[in-house]
Structure 1
């Protein structure tokens, strides 16, 4: 294989002009790999450009700096997580199944191969206000979805309903991360069943107020 052919195989996107949206998606994908592997502080724009197979000027045409890249990923995955939780809850009118679906959505997010959850739940840049706000929006969105769709049926006021929702979301994401990191023999389905059963035993203690 010639040197030119080898370069083409190793970096198939270098020198190829892509539509702006496709290029942006490609750069975000490369940045995510670097951030997940190295963390924000140890990641370099050089590494991201190399991973994407583009020059640094091309990278800077789309993102002014490393923080903007990181925030774009946070916003994308945070919004996706909230939408998944809402869709899971709306998929069934039965509250017990809603709880299971919400827990399952959080476990599925943590179990994704691209490890996007590490950017949302384990960011090493939480001291940056913009990052803190993006993470808070994702967490609050999930909490609000649970509070609105599940606990409000118990006739609780917003503050009490939201506190229960914080418990459910916190229980789900903390246990999901532990389940993933320990790599034990418990399947994701069984883990979701265990945690949703635990959560439902508590939530079902509040009597249903609405038909």
Structure 2
């Protein structure tokens, strides 16, 4: 069996870190757990990343980039309502089928709040920059309408809560959302 390159190991670390941070958050996740999940030593982990914060930020960036890619692919060639429906459907499917994706998002927001309370603004700057790239990805297919973009993102946050609390699809809690129709 061929040995993994450092870049392949970095990818393994980001995937493992996403799973671990999604479960335990920044403060509740040890680098030892990440190293164990990847099958490397902690010293090797720190040859790939300078520290725990760098690992978390790499996992957070990957989460944002994957979300941006998912929205861009869903909206490709579409505009307005068709784009909203496609992006909304893709998002619901993704967070429903991959709960670690949703949990990583939530842990990112919590980590920003905790870090900024401690005077560390690096988390916030990185996550906010990703959020703005996400905003731009959504904004254009929705006709560059700020209200529509804000509404879409607000509904996404409500979807996050409903999925995290495991509300079943037909529950009345979903009734206020403009969800994709079955014929779209």
In structure 2, stretches of 5+ residues that fail to align are: none
Give per-residue Cα distances to partners, 1:144-190, cap 9 Å, x unaligned.
Answer: 233222234xxxxxxxx22331121121x222212212323317xxx
1:133-148 equivalent positions in 2, closer than 5 A: 133-148=125-140
Match for 1:169 among 137, 153, 160?
Answer: 153
Offset at residue 63 of structure 1 (A): 0.7
Secondary structure of the corresponding residue to residue 150 of structure 1: coil
Q: TM-score, normalised by structure 1?
A: 0.69
Secondary structure of the corresponding residue to residue 163 of structure 1: helix
Change (3 A) 1:197 1:61: closer
User: Are 1:30 and 2:34 an aligned pair?
Assistant: no
Secondary structure of the corresponding residue to residue 27 of structure 2: helix
1:146-157 equivalent positions in 2, closer than 5 A: 146-152=138-144
Q: Larger RCO: Structure 1 or Structure 2 (Cα < 8 Å, ≥ 6 residues apart)?
A: 2
In structure 1, stretches of 5+ residues that fail to align are: 1-12, 153-160, 199-211
User: Are 1:69 and 2:55 an aligned pair?
Assistant: yes
Higher Rg of the two aligned structures: 1
1:92-131 equivalent positions in 2, closer than 5 A: 92-93=78-79, 95-113=80-98, 115-123=100-108, 124-126=110-112, 127=116, 128-131=120-123
Correspondence for 2:70: 84
Q: TM-score, normalised by structure 2?
A: 0.78
User: Are 1:49 and 2:35 an aligned pair?
Assistant: yes
C-alpha separation in 2, matches of 1:121 and 1:192? 23
Correspondence for 1:7: none
Give per-residue Cα distances to partners, 1:50-94, cap 9 Å, x unaligned.
Answer: 22221111111101100000011111121121122122222435x
Whether contact under 8 Å (1:104, 1:192) holds in the other structure is no
Change (3 A) 1:61 1:114: farther
Whether contact under 8 Å (1:49, 1:56) holds in the other structure is yes
CA RMSD of aligned residues (A): 2.8
Correspondence for 1:203: none
